[in-house]
Structure 1
Amino acid sequence: MATVLIVDDEFGIAELLDAVLSDDGHKVVTAANGRQGLARVAASRPDLIFLDFMMPVMDGPAMLAALVADPETCGIPVVLMSSMPEETVRERASGHAAFLRKPFRLKQVRDLVEGLLAGRGGDN
């Protein structure tokens, strides 16, 4: 069982991801913005992070930059999520393992989780 952190200010998306990943056997932790997300990372040491691009308080690019700059967290794979095209997102954010365009299909989420956790030991 892996621990997955979902950082998104859209409660419907966070709840959907929580339900799907919990049903798949993962422990899910949620946060509504990047500042809360960083606190959850410190407390839960997630194996994978789903991170929304646009949020209040601290947005996805700022949280991602903090994760990448910290030797303790730079190895955690991050799935950056946005309704904007990936090319637009890449202009402001780097260091993520994958990009998930909203709206997404649940199969995309499950495939990303499976692929990113393979070899990390988080899915046992």
Structure 2
Amino acid sequence: MKVILVVDDEFDILTTWQMVLQLEGFTVLTAPNGKIGLEIARSTPPDLIITDWMMPVMDGLELCRMLAKDPALAVIPLILASAAWHEPSVPHPNAVFLRKPVSMDALVDIVRRLIAARGES
């Protein structure tokens, strides 16, 4: 079973995405900020990471930077999600930007596509 790490400080989004992804057959780990997300990724490397951009403690862009610095974690596909009107330059070699709000069907589609592209579907 593929493992997805979802990092978001908004409890409703975190729990909704966790439930939807679990119903699709994924194991889902969660974190309320980038610092905890980084700790989880280091201790239990997931198959995919979904992170919000704007969060307290460590935001999603900093999480992307930290993951990209670690060769073992830089290969993990990453989705940076935000409601921001502009798309940031994401400092991670395997990242895509996803604008919120996103439909659950679109989220599941991109998750499946990124995991398949990694050659592990």
CA RMSD across the alignment: 1.4
Instruction: Answer yes or no: is the 8 Å Cα contact 1:3–1:122 preserved in 2.
Output: no
Q: Distance in 1 between matches of 2:112 and 2:13?
A: 19
Scaled by the length of structure 1, the TM-score of the pair is 0.90
Instruction: Answer yes or no: is the 8 Å Cα contact 1:6–1:49 preserved in 2.
Output: yes
Partner of 1:76: 76
Q: Runs of 5+ in structure 2 lacking a partner? A: none
Displacement, 1:85?
A: 2.7
Q: Distance in 2 between matches of 1:13 and 1:101?
A: 13
2:116 to 115, 118, 123: 118
Instruction: Answer yes or no: is the 8 Å Cα contact 2:60–2:80 preserved in 1.
Output: yes
Displacement, 1:97?
A: 2.2
Q: Distance in 2 between matches of 1:72 and 1:54?
A: 25
Displacement, 1:121?
A: 5.0
Q: Percent identity?
A: 42
Partner of 2:40: 40
Displacement, 1:118?
A: 0.5
1:85 aligned counterpart, secondary structure: coil
What whole-Å deviation, never above 9, does each CA across 1:48-104 have from its counterpart, x for those lacking one?
A: 0001100000111111000001111010011000001343x22xx332521111111
Q: Distance in 1 between matches of 2:12 and 2:80?
A: 17
Partner of 1:106: 104
Scaled by the length of structure 2, the TM-score of the pair is 0.92
Aligned pairs, how many? 120
Partner of 1:2: 2
Q: Distance in 2 between matches of 1:66 and 1:94?
A: 9
Q: Distance in 2 between matches of 1:117 and 1:99?
A: 15
Instruction: Answer yes or no: is the 8 Å Cα contact 2:77–2:118 preserved in 1.
Output: no
2:81 aligned counterpart, secondary structure: strand
Q: Which has the higher contact order (CA 8 A, sep 6+)?
A: 1
- Seen in structure 2, the aligned counterparts of structure 1 residues 30 and 101 have a Cα distance that, compared at 3 Å, is same
Q: Distance in 2 between matches of 1:85 and 1:112?
A: 20
Is 94-103 or 69-78 further displaced after alignment? 94-103
